[in-house]
Amino acid sequence: MKVTLNWLRQYVEFPWSAEKLSDRLTMLGIEVEGMQKTGGEFEGVVVAQVLTREKHPNADKLSLCRVHDGQGERQIVCGAQNFSAGDKVPLILPGASLPPKLGETSFTIKVGKIRGVESQGMMCSPQELGLPDAVDGLLILSPDAVVGQSFAAYLGKSGSDVVYDLEITPNRPDLNSLIGIAREISALTGNPIRLPIIASLPLGNELASEVTVQVQDSELCPRYTIRLIRGVKIGASPTWLKSALEAVGLRSINNVVDITNYVLLECGQPLHAFDFNLLRDRTIVVRRAFEGEKFTTLDGQERTLTSQMLMICDAEQGVALAGVMGGRNSEINPATVDVLLESAYFKSQSIRSTSKKLDLRSDASYRFERGADIGICDWASQRAAQLMVEIAGGSIVPGLVDIQPQVSPPKTITLRFAQTNQLLGIAVPAEEQSQYLKNLGFAITTNTDSVTVTIPSYRVDLKQEVDLIEEIARLYGVDRIPSTAPMGVVGSHPFDAVYDELGAARSVLSGLGLLEAQGQTLISSKSANLVSMEVIALDNPLSSDMNVLRPSLLPGLLDALSHNSHQSLHDLRMFEVGRVFTRSADTVREERRIAIAITGHRHTATWSGDEREARVDLYDLKGMIEEFLERIGLRGYSCQRREGVSNGLFLESATIQIGKQTLGEFGQLLPALAKQYDLRDAVFLVELNLDLVLARRNPNKTFKSLPGFPSIRRDIAMIVTESTTHESVLAVVRQLNPANLDKIELFDVFRGKNVADGNKSVAYAFTYRHAEKTLTDQEVNPVHDRIVAELKQKLSASIRE
C-alpha cells in the first residue's frame, strides 16, 4: 500500500521528518519497504518562525536570530531588517539549493560562519526564492502558516513529497487506508485524528421511491447501502485529485470513478458507482450467480461464474461481480448523468474464493477479502457523494438505502494488566496500559486489575486479550522490552541423539575424503525412474525438472557429478546424507539414507609416484563402505552379488545384508548412463538406509588386552576357480573353527603366468596366537594342515608350495 507524506498530514499532525516517520511506522509493525522522495519546487525550504532577534556581536548590519524550523531551533545570521521575533518566514536548510537565476548555477546553502558566528541556514527574500514579489528584505508569511510545513505546501504548490510503500500484514485490513495509518500515528503521538468534515446531507427519504434494493443473500452480503447522485457531469478530475491518485500509483479515469478510488484509499471502503440509467427497472438485486452464468467485467473479460459467487444485478441481469469488479454494462461513461453509489460489506471468504477462482484481483477484492469495516459503509458513501457534488456537480437524492439485517453490538475484550506484564516480561503500570488503548481510539472502562475495551468495527484483528497485549507492546515499543536469558530448563526429544549420530556419520564420510553434497528434494520423474517406478509426484509441480520427490539420493548425486564434469572436473568423490520418499501401496515413507559417488583418479594429483594415473575402482568404494560401517559400529553384514540385469542403474552390483534386512546396494554405474551424464571415467555408487544402519549398530566399545605372546604366521597360496569367492574361503575356515587362529588376511590375488584361464591364485596369511603362552610349531601345524586339507577338498584348491 502506498501513501504520501503530505496526504497523511491532512489527517494527523506529527513532528517527524520523512525518515523519522518511516522509522516510527516500521517500529509500529508497518514495515516501510520503499521510500521515494518526489521532487518539486522549494526543496529544503520550510516555514520557520523567528524566536529571537539580536544584534550580531561583530557586525552592525547583521542580526543573530534563533529560529524554529518545526523540528528544532537553529541559529541564523541575517542581513535583512524588515522582520521581528514572532514572524514566520521561509527558511532554506543547509544542503538545499536556491533556485538558479537565469544564466547562473544554483547556490547550495551550507552551515558556515558569518563574521565569526555560525549560521545554520538562510531566511529568504522572495527574490532569492525566484518569486515575483519584490520586497526589501525577507518574505514575511501569514501568521497562520504552519511552522515546519514545506514552503511549497504553504504556497499550495505541488511541493516535494515522500511516497512510502508500506507492507500491510494480512491481519490489519484497517491499515489499507490513509486514515488507518493516520490512526496509528495518532496513537503514537497522542495527536487527534482529523477526519474530513462532511457537511450534513439533505434530509428526507426520496431515494426509497427512486430505487428498489433487494438483498437475497445476506450471509454473503451482511450490509448493502445505496445513494443516488443526480445530474453529475462526467469529466476530468481536478489536478489535486489526479495527482493524489497518481502519487500512489493509480491512473485517473474520470471524476466520478476517481472519487470512489480516492475515498477507497482514504478510508479503505471499496465503493462502486453505477450509471443509474443503465440499470433496468431502477432495481438492485444482490444474489448468488447461477452456475455457469456469463458476465463481462469492466476489464472486458467474459467470466463464467459459479453459484458460490455473489452478483449485484438489476431487474434482469448481473451488473457487478460483488466486491470484485463492476460490469461493462453499467459502468460510468461520458454520458452518465445519474450515479448510483454502492457502499457495501461482503463476507471476506466469499470474495476471496471468487477472486481466487477467477484469478481476478482488484483493490476492492483485496480489501474485502482481508475484512472490511462494516461500520464505515455510510460514512464512505456520504464522503464520496459529497465530493461528487463538489467536483462533478449534481445533487444528492435525499435518503440512504441501508440493508443490514443483523447489527451486532460492538465487541468488548477485557485485558488483565498483570497478563500484559507477565507475557512481555516488563512492568507497564495500569494507567499507562489504559492510555495506550485510549490513544488507539478505543472506548475503555477501567476496573481494578483490568480494563474492558470496546473494539471499533474497523479493528477486525482484535479478538482476544492477547491481541490487546500486542497493541500495548507495539505502542510501548518492542525495542524497549529488555533482553533477558531464559530460565534454565533442559529440553528433551528423542531426535536429539539421532542428530548427533547423523553428525558423526557425516564426519566419518568427510574423513574418508568425500565432499558433502546437498541435492534437490524435487527431481524429474525421468531421473527418479532410473531407481524406482513407484515415485511420489507433486500435484502442482513448477516444471517437469522438479515434479517428483526423490526416491533415492543417487539421481541427485549423478546430477552433481554431471554438473562438475561440465566444468571439466572429473575427479569427484561425494556423499550425501538426506531424506528420500518412497511409496508402498497407499502409504508414503520418509527414510534417511547415505549415498556415495566416486569417479576419476584414485589419488590427488601430484608430481611423482607410480600410481598417479590410477583410477578408482569398486574396491576403493568398498573400502569406504567398510571403514564407514566399522566406524559407525555396524558388524556382521555381508555382500551378495546381484545376479542378472540389475535395477537400471548398475552394470554390476551387490546388496549389503544384515540378517534378512537389506542395508543398501553398491556397484558400478552403467557405462551408457555414465555417458549420458557426460562422465568420463567409471563411476561407483552406493546407497544405504541410514535409519537401518543406525538402528542395527552397536557403538559400544570394550577394551581387549594387548597380545602378550608372539604369534606364528603360516601362508597359504592356492589356485582356485574364478567362481570361488573370498567369502567362500572364509566360510571353509570358519566352519573348522581352528584353534588359536587369530586372523586371516588375503594378501594377493594373481592371474596370468602359470595360472590357467578361469582360475586365479589367492594367497592368505594365517596368524595363530595364544593369549597365555607362546605357541609351538607342534601346536600350530596340525591345525594348519587341517585347514589346507579342507580347502583342497571343499574348494578343489591346488596348493602352491
Partner 1 sequence: MSFLDQIEPLKQQALVDFNNASDLQSLDQVRVEYLGNQGKFTALLKQLGSLSKEEKPAAGKQINLAKVQMEAALAERREMLELQSALPKNPTDFTLPGRRHKLGKLHPLTQVTDDIVRCFRKLGFVVADGPEIEDDYHCFDALNTPADHPARDAQDTFHLGGSNRQLLRTHTSSVQIRVMEKQSPPIRIIVPGRVYRRDNADATHNPTFHQIEGLYVDKHVTMSDLKGTVEFVFKQLLGDEVKLRFRPHYFSYTEPSMEIDFSSPVVKKMGKDWLEIAGCGMVHPQVFKTVGYDPEVWSGWAFGFGIERIAMIRYGITDIRLFYQNDVRFLAQF
Interface pick for partner 1 out of 422, 454, 638, 793 (rule CB under 8 A): 422
Residue 123 in grid coordinates:
531566511
Residue 101 CB, shortest distance to partner 1, in Å, is 36
CB of 186 to partner 1, least distance (A): 17
Question: Where in 587-606 is the site for partner 1 (CB under 8 A)?
Answer: 588, 590, 603-604, 606
**Segment holding 663, helix H or strand E:** strand 661-669
Size of the site for partner 1 (CB under 8 A): 92
- Given 197, 607, 660, 672, the residue binding partner 1 (CB under 8 A): 607
Sign of CA dihedral 417, 421, 424, 428: positive
Binder to partner 1 among 57, 95, 238, 511 (CB under 8 A)?
511
Closest distance between partner 1 and the C-beta of residue 448, in Å? 19
Least distance between partner 1 and beta carbon 363 (Å): 15
Binding residue for partner 1, selected from 106, 333, 518, 735, defined by CB under 8 A:
518
Residues 13-32, interacting with partner 1 (CB under 8 A): 26-29, 31
Instruction: Show contacts with partner 1 in window 326-365 (CB under 8 A).
Output: 348-349, 352-353
Q: Which of 59, 250, 389, 512 binds partner 1 (CB under 8 A)?
A: 512
Q: Are 241 and 228 in contact (CB under 8 A)?
A: no
Rule CB under 8 A: say whether 516 interacts with partner 1: yes
Q: From the list 156, 409, 486, 752, which residue makes contact with partner 1 (rule: CB under 8 A)?
A: 486
User: What is the smallest separation between the CB atom of 21 and partner 1, expressed in angstroms?
Assistant: 15
**How many CA atoms lie within 13 Å of 321's alpha carbon, on the beta-carbon side?**
34
Cβ neighbours for 487, distance < 8 A, ≥ 6 positions apart = none
Cell 524406482 belongs to: 532
Q: Report the site for partner 1 in 537-576 (rule: CB under 8 A).
A: 537-542, 546, 549, 559-560, 563-564, 567, 569, 572-575
Site for partner 1 in 26-85 (CB under 8 A): 26-29, 31
Q: Smaller CB distance to partner 1: residue 87 or 501?
A: 501
Span 442-481, contacts to partner 1 by CB under 8 A:
464, 466-467, 469-470, 473-474, 478-479, 481
CB of 345 to partner 1, least distance (A): 17
- Cell readout for 278 is 443503465
* Least distance in angstroms from the C-beta of 732 to partner 1: 36
Tell me the residue ranges of DSSP E strands in 250-322.
271-275, 283-288, 294-296, 302-304, 310-313, 318-321
How far apart are alpha carbons 241 and 255 in whole angstroms?
8
Q: Which stretch binds partner 1 (CB under 8 A): 35-43, 153-161, 243-251, 493-501?
A: 493-501
In whole angstroms, give the CA distance from residue 343 to residue 363: 14
Full DSSP string of 204-266: S-THHHH-EEEES-TTT-SEEEEEEEES----PPPHHHHHHHHHTTPPP--HHHHHHHHHHHH
Site residues for partner 1, window 162-201 (CB under 8 A)? 169-172
Q: Report the C-alpha gap between 609 and 606 in whole angstroms.
A: 8
Return d(Cα 346, Cα 710) in angstroms, integer.
94
Distance CA 68, CA 117 (A): 18
238 binds partner 1 (CB under 8 A): no
Cβ 489 to partner 1 shortest distance, Å: 5
Q: Residue 655, class by beta-carbon neighbours within 10 Å (0-12 exposed, 13-18 middle, 19+ buried)?
A: middle
Contact with partner 1 (CB under 8 A) among 491, 644, 659, 752: 491
From the CB of 302, what's the least distance to partner 1, in Å? Answer: 26
Alpha carbons 650 and 643: distance in angstroms, whole number: 11
Query: Is the CB of 29 or the CB of 667 nearer to partner 1?
Result: 29
